[in-house]
Structure 1
Amino acid sequence: MKVIVVGAGLSGIGTALAFRRYVKQKVEIKIYDRANAHDTGLYGWNDHADLRLKNQGAAISLQANALRVLQDLDPELAATVRASGFPCKGFTWKTAGNYSLGREHVDLLPISRPVLVQCLAKALPADVAVQYRTISKVEVGNAQKPRLHFEDGATEEADLVVGADGIRSMTRQALFGDDERYQPNYLGHCAVGGVLDRKVSLPQSYLDDPTIMFYEGPNGFFGYSGLSQADPTKILYFSIYDSPAPDRHNLDYDLINQELRERHADFADPLIGLCLSEAKVDNVYPVCWLPDLPRWGRDGVVLVGDAAHAMTPASGQGGSQAFEDAQTLGLLLAGHLERHGTAEAVEHTITGLYNVRHRHVDALKAKGLSVKEPERPWSTLTTALVYVGLLVLVQVKNISGYLGTTDPVRNWDSKREVAKYLGSS
């Protein structure tokens, strides 16, 4: 059996690792990523980062469900990821004036996204390598195996093509064409940010009790955390603000940096002031999401990660759900190959991934979309109302946690759900 994975990000490499972990039959796996990553699509544009990692973004925060998947895929990989990130004990919410609005208790691991991708790539077995070639078209259907067309004119077919190529997925376009119902939607916000190297360690009080810091202000949202427990001099910072969809071909980074400083000039936390004084932002991340799809694949092609269900940052689950997709797909393929021939196993696996995952994922996406704030800039009254609302919301979440209320995110388990699905099919 031959599998081609399109995209060498979290879901792509994660899927390759899952196939090697769970599938006992011989499977040839190839991973292709773009030869030229200068065009990083709708999620981020950066002309200065490493060519093959720049489209991965600055950082990500993994929650317990993602770390559980990594532990099952490869305990050594999971340990490396934990050591490469900055374990935090929750979210701390504050006002622009640096007054506390409460703390949400949850285990988190902020980590550099390129570092995370490198950790995953290093865990790949020797016979699975990432190859950098530009794909011009994915051909699906016509009663034949899916076929990739490369920019250089070459073609290659496989029994299964996994579209792990992000929110602007070429693989999804092969399945749905230009249907506007299944195109990314811009939410009206942009994010900018970066990594600040302070040269000196973060405050000891923060290192002793690390959380991701969130600051709400009338002109924008600012957040920061440590980035690596191995290097406590680095701060990950980010700012989210209302904006019309930016023109990707006409970005004035000098103006973007100036607006960043003006937007948070009155934020009282001194670490924010330090970030602003040294900020050299050269990325813009429009906040987008993908409408629910009626299926995630057909005819030997399946979508995973953002290609299937891109969420807003408010969900806090984009990367974690990519890993759950990978694990679920690997478990389903392993189970169906034990019962069927290759072609039938592939189609059952594609159908099964959607059936097992889509309700859970769509609910998480909807929950993230339900988090709405008034359009900025806020009046004094609106600011006060937002602060009161946050204060109450954080307390409600903590009380639910103390009472042991079931958390559908933490308690969703790929192995359990796949076993249940295979047992009933």
Structure 2
Amino acid sequence: MTPHHKLIPTSTNTLPTYTSNLKNNNQPTMKIIIIGAGISGCAAYLTLRKHLPPPPPSSPSQDHEFTIYEAYPSPSSPNPPNPTNKITVGGGLGIAPNGLRVLERLDESILRDAVTSGYMLDHTNLKDKHGKTLIQLPSSSSSNSGSNESSGSNKALHLLGTSRHNFWLCLHRRIPENVIVYNKRVARVISHPTQRNTVTFVDGSEPAYADLVIGADGLRSVVRQQSILDGEGDGPRYEGLIGIGGFLPTHTIGGIEPGSLNLHFSGTGFFGYFYATSSSTSPTRSSAYHVSEPGDTLVWWTTYSTPTPPDGRDVDVDDVKSQLKSRFSTWTDPLVLHIINSVEVQTMWPTFTTPELPTWEREGVVLVGDAAHALPSTSGQGASQALEDVEALARLLGHEVGVWYQEQVLGGMSGGSGGGVEGEKRAIQMACKRYVEMRMPRVKRILDTARGMQNSKRDMGGWGEWVMYWVMWVMGFFPGLVARQQQEVFDYDLPAEVERVLDRGL
């Protein structure tokens, strides 16, 4: 049996040679269902395709069977993907260096496309409401933070500022059209310890069956509620904060440092902005390791306290703009005031988090991304942690399934019996347990830190604002100490952590 601390090679050129004398010649291919075709679901498909070893030659098919079920219509459909709640769709997105490392290891062309459609940010300015910089922090990984698998491992990666839609497109366009089934809303996922799991649908159509079901269905995950929690437990928790944002052309805006992420704090709310595109003529436009000349789009957003979450289907945009001007009436930073007076509210998102779950997996049903852990925006890690989730899961699955395939080869040579669906399920369950063991502690540390920072975005009186500014001013004298925790998150070596988890065992 292969030692657990050695990763099974997943390249078709390095896989062990399978013989045709396997006892079980009707061994099925692995069936994988992904619920949700957002960032997490698309990334899950692509990483599994990279890391899963192909089925043995004795299988009826020489490829695993993938299906992604998406509740909303296709982007090419004449009907909008979310017609009743358009104001809450999209918005700006930051992908941290640790998330970009995942893309770099997955496919450098994906990283290049994502960077080309966004803008690289190498530092963060924490400012007061008058525009004074209190702390400046690096937004880059260390130059030696990449794994040995990353061709750019000796270079520091910066933070990518982009739009959620553009980044999703970079992933989505690489998935064959016949893999995604649109307008297919899942009703329930029924797990089974030794047989395939069952997925049922709201429209009453025939159930689907899969060895592995990945819940990438976001904050209000059906998979989490129906399979992991058995229909019990609390749903997403509103954190008492709302975010509003949009995009602006940059030709009327000046005074923004190239490569800067700007975050303003005050007692009446928070305001942030960054360039979201690079100049089309910049020679470093596609490089994740350089700051380019800015392009023509700015992302802005603001976060403030409100006791109840708004209903995006019934929002008076003019009233929202009026409230913004009133809320920021004591601010004097000219750039923020210019943005507020120029904005069109394009996105609105109440801040929800998911209650801490006892586990993210059950019998071959597993959660990734927001379905497992919706992080507040203060973490700056929502998309990056989703990317880490799917890579960790794919690597662990590739290892466990590869071990099982080798055992089938040895069993066939010695006259032993193949494991069929049960053996495959055991390998999947082991990988999912290791995934949860590996990922839960890291996500919890990031969530705890983000919740502490989140209080700086809540309404506070003049005294509270003064204390916050004083603390930030003092911290500004020790930027290395302030940045250390963030740097540990950015420099995370996921492949090495997978090796450690396999070496420890369960």
**TM-score normalised by the chain length of structure 1:** 0.89
1:85 aligns with 2:129: no
Q: Which amino acid aligns with 1:331?
A: R
- Please report how far the alpha carbon of residue 128 of structure 1 lies from its aligned counterpart in structure 2 after TM superposition: 6.4
CA change 1:130–1:300 in 2 (3 A) is: same
- Please report how far the alpha carbon of residue 179 of structure 1 lies from its aligned counterpart in structure 2 after TM superposition: 3.0
Distance 2:368 2:31 in 1: 18
Say which SS state the counterpart of residue 118 (structure 1) adopts.
helix
> 1:55-204 maps to which residues of 2 (within 5 A)?
55=89, 57-107=90-140, 108-124=159-175, 126=176, 129-141=179-191, 144-154=195-205, 155-174=207-226, 175-180=228-233, 182-198=234-250, 200=251, 202-203=253-254
Q: Which range moves more in the overlay, 407-416 or 93-102?
A: 407-416
Distance 2:370 2:133 in 1: 34
Distance 1:274 1:265 in 2: 12
CA change 1:261–1:63 in 2 (3 A) is: same
Find the counterpart in structure 2 of residue 295 from structure 1.
359
Find the counterpart in structure 2 of residue 410 from structure 1.
490
Alignment check: 8 A CA contact 1:104 1:394 kept: no
- Please report how far the alpha carbon of residue 269 of structure 1 lies from its aligned counterpart in structure 2 after TM superposition: 2.9
CA change 1:15–1:173 in 2 (3 A) is: same
Say which SS state the counterpart of residue 87 (structure 1) adopts.
strand
- Please report how far the alpha carbon of residue 186 of structure 1 lies from its aligned counterpart in structure 2 after TM superposition: 1.1
Distance 1:142 1:130 in 2: 24
Higher strand share: 1
Alignment check: 8 A CA contact 2:240 2:309 kept: no
Distance 2:390 2:476 in 1: 32
- Please report how far the alpha carbon of residue 127 of structure 1 lies from its aligned counterpart in structure 2 after TM superposition: 7.4
Say which SS state the counterpart of residue 86 (structure 2) adopts.
coil
- Please report how far the alpha carbon of residue 79 of structure 1 lies from its aligned counterpart in structure 2 after TM superposition: 1.1
Find the counterpart in structure 1 of residue 304 from structure 2.
241
> Which residue, out of 23, 32, 47, partners 2:86?
47
Q: Which amino acid aligns with 2:51?
A: Y
Distance 1:134 1:109 in 2: 32
Find the counterpart in structure 2 of residue 29 from structure 1.
66
Q: Which amino acid aligns with 1:31?
A: I
Find the counterpart in structure 2 of residue 8 from structure 1.
37
- Please report how far the alpha carbon of residue 147 of structure 1 lies from its aligned counterpart in structure 2 after TM superposition: 2.0
Find the counterpart in structure 1 of residue 333 from structure 2.
269
Find the counterpart in structure 2 of residue 383 from structure 1.
465
**TM-score normalised by the chain length of structure 2:** 0.75
Distance 2:177 2:86 in 1: 32
Q: Deviations over 1:30-83 (max 9, x none)?
A: 22212259796xxx98426xxxxx74x312111110010100000111111111
1:421 aligns with 2:471: no
Gaps of 5+ in 1: 49-53
Distance 1:421 1:377 in 2: 42
> Which residue, out of 320, 325, 337, partners 1:256?
320
Find the counterpart in structure 1 of residue 256 from structure 2.
206
Distance 2:204 2:455 in 1: 48
Find the counterpart in structure 1 of residue 19 from structure 2.
none
Aligned length: 409
1:347 aligns with 2:440: no
Q: Which amino acid aligns with 2:494?
A: S
- Please report how far the alpha carbon of residue 376 of structure 1 lies from its aligned counterpart in structure 2 after TM superposition: 5.4
CA change 1:167–1:393 in 2 (3 A) is: farther
Alignment check: 8 A CA contact 1:105 1:398 kept: no
1:321 aligns with 2:385: yes
CA change 1:400–1:92 in 2 (3 A) is: closer
Say which SS state the counterpart of residue 443 (structure 2) adopts.
helix
Q: Deviations over 1:201-229 (max 9, x none)?
A: 753x635x321111112211111111111
